[in-house]
Amino acid sequence: MFIGIDHGTTAMRFAGEAREFKLSREAAKGFRIADLARICPVDEIEGIAVCYSMGDNFSKITCIGKVQNRGLVSREGAGKHIGGGTRVFDEVAASGIPAIAIPGLHRGSPTDPRFKAYSHQTSPEKIGIVYEICHDLGDDVIVSDISSNTVTLLISGGKLVGAFDACIFAPGMLHGALDVDAIRKIDEGICTANEAFQHAGVNFSVTEPERMRTVAMFAAMECAAMRLLNPRAVVALAGSLAPVVAPEVTAILGSNVAVYDEWCASRGCARIARDVFSGSQEILGLGVDL
C-alpha cells in the first residue's frame, strides 16, 4: 500500500488506494505514525509521499532523509504556521517507512523560465493534484485548485510548464494578491505582508452575493491565460470550491471543465509514491532522487 499526504491550507489529508481520512492542521499536531492504520496496517505500507509547506529549497522528488530544513528556504513567508504539518513530516521521517518529499515549483524547478519572473509558483500538494488529473485526462491539462486560495498550473506533453501562485493573480476565499490598499497598510505598519495576504481573499474584499462569481471569474482568467501557451489543453478544477464555481467558469471559458474533489492531492501523491517506488525516474518532468 502506498500513501499520499496533502498539506492543505486548513487540513492534512491522508489517502491510500481505497481509504482516506483528514485532520485539521491543529489536530495534526498530535499525529502519530500509528494513525495511518486508519488506511491500512502500518506494516503493509510500502511507501509514503508527503507534502510540506512551500517546498522551495529542493526541486526533485527526494528521499525524505535527504531533504534539508524540511524542504524550506525559510519558515517565514506567506501562509499560516500552526505546527500540524511539521509534526506529520517529522513522524513520517522518523518512522523508517520508505518516504519521499514532493517539491514545490520555484526558480530552481525545470519549468518555463518565463514563469521564474516570480520566486515561487506553487506548493507541493498541487503536484499531486495534477498527477492524478493527468492520469485521467491526458498530458495536456490546465488545473485550477480553488479554495482558501487559487493556484493554476499548466501541463504540456506530460511536463509541468509553470503555475500562478496564490499571491500573484486570482483570489480565493481567504488569500490573494496584495493590491495598492494592502501595500499602503503594510507601509503604514497596520499589518504585516503575511497578514495582508491572509486577508486578501474575497471574504474580505467583496460583498457576499458576489464572492463566488468573483472567484470564478479570476480562476477562469488564469485558465484562459494558460491556454495562450497550450490551446489544446483541457481544463480541470480541484479544491473545495471547484463544484461551486464550475458552472460559472464553464460559462466564461465557453467550454466544459472537469471537477475533482478535495482528495485529489493526497490520491495523486499516493500515485506518485507508487510510481517512484516502482522505479519511475521522472514525474511530470521532475527528477527523482532516492
Query: Does 78 score more than 90 pLDDT?
Result: no
Identify the three-state secondary structure at position 115.
helix
238 close to 185: Cβ distance less than 8 angstroms? no
**Domain region containing 260:** 2-171+208-289
Lookup: cell for 112: 518555463
Residue 50 lies in a domain: yes
Is the CB of residue 269 less than 8 Å from the CB of residue 128? yes
pTM: 0.94
Residue 287 has pLDDT above 90, yes or no: yes
Q: How many CA atoms lie within 13 A of 11 on its CB side?
A: 15
Q: What is the pLDDT of residue 83?
A: 82
**182 in a structural domain:** no
pLDDT in tens, 96-154: 999 999 999 999 999 999 999 999 999 999 999 999 999 999 999 999 999 999 999 99
Percent of the chain with pLDDT strictly greater than 70: 97
- 187 in a domain, yes or no? no
70 to each of 62, 195, 278, how far by Cα in Å?
A: 11, 23, 24
In a domain, 198, yes or no: no
Three cell numbers written together for 3: 500513501
Nearest partner of 84 among 19, 13, 21, 20, judged by Cα: 13
- The answer to whether residue 189 sits within a structural domain is no
Does residue 64 sit within a domain? yes
Q: What's the CATH code of the domain at 166?
A: 3.30.420.40
Domain count along the chain = 1
Provide CB contacts within 8 A for 45, sequence distance 6+: 1, 2, 3, 36, 97
